[in-house]
Amino acid sequence: MFILNKTMKKTLVISLFVATALIGLAGCASDQEQTPKPKAEEKPKPVKDTRPKEDRLSVGMTKDEVRAAIGKPKGTSVNSDGEESWNYSDSEKAFIPYYSLSGGKFHHLIVNFDKDGKVKNWSTSAQGMY
């Protein structure tokens, strides 16, 4: 059996009282209005270009301009003349249930660059299951 003397009882009671008071004070609310911190100047978001990818291209664009206009390619290739091609596809739509069965088409775009890294031409195709 645990026996407490008078000093220990007094210390225990005071400790419990102080702990309760501290916990109670931690939850106090203020009646002052909270003002939000001033934000840095927010830049307006650019409007997303919803045109088909091939309509955003033009002959002579640089690789950086193409990447900004239509995004990162899914794959790249280089032919024997040293000319690069970028491949774009929306084949991830294949994971949408019944997409192709309901008439959905998969679009493929190939952008060909000349030796200087400028758009030479491009080709596009669309495929559907049925």
Domains in the chain, CATH or no CATH each? 53-128 (3.30.1450.10)
Q: What is the residue type of 40?
A: A
pLDDT tens-digit map of 75-104: 999 999 999 999 999 878 777 887 767 778
CA distance 100 to 127: 9
CA distance 81 to 48: 36
pLDDT tens-digit map of 38-83: 666 777 777 888 888 889 999 999 999 999 999 999 999 999 999 9
Residue 100, helix vs strand vs coil: coil
- At 31, the pLDDT band (50, 70, 90 cuts) reads low
**Angle CA 106–112–114, to nearest 5:** 175
| pLDDT attached to residue 37 | 66
pTM of the model: 0.59
| pLDDT attached to residue 16 | 78
| pLDDT attached to residue 108 | 92
What is the 8-class DSSP label of residue 103? T
Both tokens of residue 45? 């978001």
